[in-house]
Amino acid sequence: MSEPVATSTRVRSLSYGLVRRLADFIDPQEGGKKLAMDITNPSGESRYRQEHIRRFEAFVQMGKSPTCELLYDWGTTNCTVADLVDLLIRNQFLAPASLLLPEAVRMPQEVTLPLSSQETLPIHEKQLPVQEKEVASVKPALAQTTEKQHSGPSYVSQENSSLQSSNTDFHNFLFHDLESITNNFDARPESAGGNKLGEGGFGIVFKGYINGRSVAVKKLVAMVDVSVQDLKQQFEQEINMMAKCQHENLVELLGFSSDGAQPCLVYEYMSNGSLLDRLACL
């Protein structure tokens, strides 16, 4: 069993699974580059120059995580979790910071706000700082068949059944509906006529359309050295995290699917490349 994470824990001592979960939040938004540019040596000089950053970015072409490689390298300096959390918070990566030290991130009160009867209510009525943002009900008219119960593997454990309660109020999608709107999870890049937008440590992000509205579907996929239990934990944690951690720099989670072959998370789609600058299945 891995050691509990504390402020004094060395970054180089973090488990592979935990580092991959951090990367899953950071990689899709190319956050590794942002973090690398903010890391300094004890002298106050930037640790990483542009050629270093380009080297980290090149790991994507090798099927590796730039964030993981950055943390492995930075970890050789004996930096601690406290240093990493400070770096994450400073750059508005609140969800991964909370994953390491929940008490270090100021979370908003969990309050469910009633929606008006207008089903076309925009997802973002107002943008508030994280200290003031309340957890609003998210029930847009995205799909008409999600209330039906289907048999199949569930990635929501009994102890976390509250994921489907009104505490989160996220939409519960059917897996086969998500297959349909993403052309059976077409893995070709969008530029080549497919639906794939990008990928991170735990999942692949696809573009889809629901009732004429663009969404981003993150399909969680078990990687090498990542167990099914780790995948389930990541799924549950990301939903709970997004329910609590509402912030203008976090893309909106609309719902999830847990009845199919792989668990999926459905996010608001942001055009002009800004989706992958913000997304943490994220």
Residues annotated in a binding site for ATP: 219
Residue ranges of the annotated binding site are: 219
CA distance 42 to 77: 10
- Ramachandran angles phi, psi of 196, nearest 5°: -75, 130
CA distance 99 to 240: 11
Q: How many helices (H) and strands (E) does the chain have?
A: 9, 6
CA distance 207 to 228: 25
> Which of 103, 87, 102 is CA-nearest to residue 31?
87
- Tokens representing 47 are 């640790």
CA dist 279 → 25, 39, 170, 200, 216 (Å)? 7, 22, 17, 10, 9
